Each structure stands twice: as C-alpha cells, then as structure tokens.
Structure 1
Amino acid sequence: MKLTELKDRIIETSLRLFESHGFHGVTVNQIVSESGTSKGGFYHHFQSKDELLYVIHDYFISYVLTKAKEADSSSKKPTEKLQKIIQSFVKVFHLYKPHISVFYQESMYLKPEYTEEIKKKRDSYKNLIFKCLEEGREAGEFRPEVPVDITGMTILGMVNWTYKWYQPGGEKTIDEIGSIFVDLILNSLLTDSAKQKKEYQKFFLKSGLAEDKL
C-alpha cells in the first residue's frame, strides 16, 4: 500500500470514529485496529492524535486558501475574484464535509500550537477576502458605503454555516448552492453600474433557479 493511501485510510477511519465516539472517546489503538495498520504506520504519518485532528482541519482550510490564492492571481477584476472565492468556499462543504463536522465538534481539544497554526491560515484566507473587497471598492465595482470588514465577516459567517445544513444528494447540487450564494452576495455588494456589465450577468440567477428545497 502506498504511504498516501495509508494516510488517507487512517484519516477516514478517525473521522468515522470521532463522529461516533468523540475525540477523547477514541484511542490510537482503535484507529490502528480499525484502519488495518500498525502503530508504526500511524506514527509514521502523525506524531499524535492531536496532530491528526490538526491535519483533518488543514485539509479543508488548505483547499480554500489555495483556491483563493489562485483566484487572486488569475483574475484581474475583483468581481470575478470574489465569485471564484465564494464558489470554491461553498464547494469545500461537499468535498470535506466529514472533516469539517469533526473539526467543529472537536476543535476545543486542539493544543495551543495547532490552534495557532490554524489561526494563521484562517487569517490569511480572511485577508484575501478583505483584499478583494477593498480592490472592488477602489475599482468602483463594490458599493463604497458598505464597510470591508463587516462585509468580509458577513461572507465568512454566511458560508461557514453551510456545514450545519448541507446534505449531499439534496435538491440542489453544491455548485447550484454556490451560485445562489454568489447571486445573494454580488446583488447586495455590486454598484448599479457594475451589475449592468455584460461579463457579470452570468453570475446572477435566472428566474426560478433559487426556488424549491435545498
């Protein structure tokens, strides 16, 4: 078995066990037994169970941070950047739903050094969103009367809550849900002139798409 496959198996096993029994209700021995590996295999990838919990978080924060950096470097127009950031932000709740659920359930048990590392990445992500919002104001695309900090924290709060209600296989796909978030945010944020730009029309929903159940 490849090392990456073993690491993924350990993580998938721990996610299932943590969801069922809680972080402190699961031992390394249980993870080793359930994943079909050895203690040597476990400690080759993780120094401790605490580091394993940190890595579970790092998977999904690294994904959104990478996508936000890609959006920042690949798009010149702030509206396009923000659309890409929001769409990838929403998608993480489909790609890493078990990771996110376990993290929010068990994050209180993280040791300070891991909490600090997580804070660094979360701050980097937040700052990229704030930077995009500031650029949008300077470019005349985003309403100047709407404060950057409150807008940024509102976006983070709105989208983060997705982990509480999103269910794979629901009425809407994760991409459709992402488009709904984009529409809501851009409709409230863009200036009237920016909304009229032809290249941004594709970011707004057509009549009837946002109805029905999620």
Structure 2
Amino acid sequence: MSAPEEGDSAGVADSVPRRLLSVATRLFAEQGFDRTSVQEIVAAAGVTKGAMYHYFGSKDDLLYEIYARVLREQTERLEKFAVTEAPVAERLRSIASDVVVSTIVALDDTKIFFESMHQLSPEKRRTVRAERRRYHERFRGLIEEGQRAGDFRRDKPAEVVVDFFFGAVHHLGYWYRPSGELSAQDMGEHFADLLLASLRPDRPGS
C-alpha cells in the first residue's frame, strides 16, 4: 500500500478537530458539559488524548470552540452583507435573516454553549463575550446608520433594538423544532420582517 499523499495527510489531520467538536457537541447535549469526561470524548471520536490535546488544551477549549466557530462564520457573513452598496434596510434585513438561519443550522451548538457558558474559565467567558459584543456593535451600527439617514425610527435606542432582537434569536434553541412547519429560512424571513417593521418610521419625527 502506498503512503498517503501530503494532501491526504492534511485532510486526515483537519478531520480530527472537526470530529472531536462533533462528538463533544453530541455528548454535551446528551449528558451535559460537566458530566462528560475527556476520556469519553476521545473514545467516541476514535482518537487519543494526545491527539485531542494537540488541538484543544482542555474541555473548556472544546466548549468555547463549539460556539466560537459559529460566531466566526456569522461575523464573516455579516461583513459580507454590510459592505455592499445596497440600501441600509436591505443590508440589515439580509443580516438579520442570515443570523437566524445560521443559528438554527447550529442550534445544538448554540444551545449547549449558552447552557454551559458559566462553566468556562473567566478568561474564556470574557473572550467570547467580547467577540459577541463586536458582532452586536456592528449590527447596531447599521441601525444607527439607518436612523441618521431617516430610514429607521429614531425614538427607540439602537442598543435596545439590538438587545430585543438577539434576545429572541438566542431563545430559539429552547422552542424551535426543525421538524415543525417553519423552516430555518421561514424563520429568518419572519424575524427580519419583524425587525424592519419595528424600525419603520411610521410617525413624523419618529
């Protein structure tokens, strides 16, 4: 048998962290973060502890990365929509719909993280809160841009709108069911419609 080519080796190496994250997500969902041991994770993933520690320094790191990878992807997509030349309402609508869809696609990851976040080290909690705050601030910036342009009502602080919207998004893991009548895309459209309707300047001076 010939030795694996360089590309094959890279593919195998790349699959290890993904497999560990997939297994950790499932076990954390089934058993809880605190009741899942590193040994259970590596056994279910079919790797050694040494292999795990090559990529993740601790179980904390796995929990952090479960959510961080979702947030990184959402941030990349936010920036992609935010920098277009489309009207601000259209950009905000695309981002609002996208964050709902991507949250639902990664619903287990998001729910597990929010349920277990308090068990992270203080440093990890500060890091993820700072990263999430940067996303929310960019989102808020679009609302403020629309308010300055007169496209959005100005009588509601942008910070309140952001907190209200993301409070609903973060709650999806507790009630949304993929087997229900509404798809992720449907939910994205509904949430985006509600957000834009709440920002519409219906009254003079609003």
Residue of structure 1 equivalent to 2:183: 173
Shifted more, 183-192 versus 105-114: the winner is 183-192
Report the aligned-residue RMSD.
Answer: 1.6
Residue of structure 1 equivalent to 2:171: 161
Q: Partners in 2 of 1:178 and 1:163 — Cα distance?
A: 14
Which residue, out of 91, 106, 109, partners 1:96? 106
Alignment of structure 1 residues 8-47 onto 2, 5 Å: 8-47=18-57
Q: Partners in 1 of 2:73 and 2:173 — Cα distance?
A: 16
Q: Normalized against structure 2, the TM-score is what?
A: 0.88
Q: Partners in 2 of 1:124 and 1:168 — Cα distance?
A: 29
The answer (yes or no) to whether the contact 1:129–1:152 under 8 Å persists in 2 is yes
The answer (yes or no) to whether the contact 2:93–2:193 under 8 Å persists in 1 is no
Letter matched to residue 70 of structure 2: F
Give the Å deviation of 1:34: 0.9
Letter matched to residue 56 of structure 1: I
Give the Å deviation of 1:76: 4.1
Letter matched to residue 154 of structure 2: P
1:26-49 Cα offsets, whole Å, 9 max, x none, are: 111111111111112111110111
Give the Å deviation of 1:133: 0.7
Residue of structure 2 equivalent to 1:189: 199
Alignment of structure 1 residues 75-90 onto 2, 5 Å: 75-90=85-100
Residue of structure 2 equivalent to 1:71: 81
SS in 2 for 1:142: coil
What 5-or-longer segments of structure 1 have no aligned partner? 194-214
Residue of structure 2 equivalent to 1:116: 126
1:157-186 Cα offsets, whole Å, 9 max, x none, are: 122211211111320111111111111111
Give the Å deviation of 1:4: 2.0
